[in-house]
Structure 1
Amino acid sequence: MYIGDSARVLKNKLKHFGVKVSGPVALKRKNFRFDTNRSPHVDKKSREQFEQRASKRLIVLYGLTPAVMQMLGDSSLFPPPPSGVETYLKIKKVKFKKEK
Structure 2
Amino acid sequence: MIEDRVKIRIVGYDQEALDNVVKKFTTTLKEEGVEMSGPIPLPTHRELYTILRSPHKHKDSREQFERRIHKRIITAKLSQKALNALSGIKLPSSVSVSLVLESK
- TM-score, normalising length from structure 1? 0.73
**Map of 2:95 onto structure 1:** 87
Structure-2 change in CA distance of 1:54 and 1:86 (3 Å): same
In structure 2, runs of 5+ residues without a counterpart are 1-14
Structure number with the bigger relative contact order (C-alpha 8 A, sep ≥ 6) is: 2
In structure 1, runs of 5+ residues without a counterpart are 96-100
Distance 1:14 1:22 in 2: 10
Whichever structure has more strand as a proportion of its residues is 2
4+ runs deviating over 6 angstroms: none
**Map of 1:54 onto structure 2:** 69
Cα deviation per residue 1:73-94 (whole Å; 9 max; x = unaligned)?
A: 33xx14x54xxx7111111106
Residue correspondences, number: 88
- SS of 1:7's equivalent in the other structure is helix
Distance 1:57 1:71 in 2: 19
Structure 1 residues 21-32: aligned runs within 5 Å: 21-32=36-47
Q: CA deviation at 1:9?
A: 2.9
Alpha-carbon RMSD = 2.2
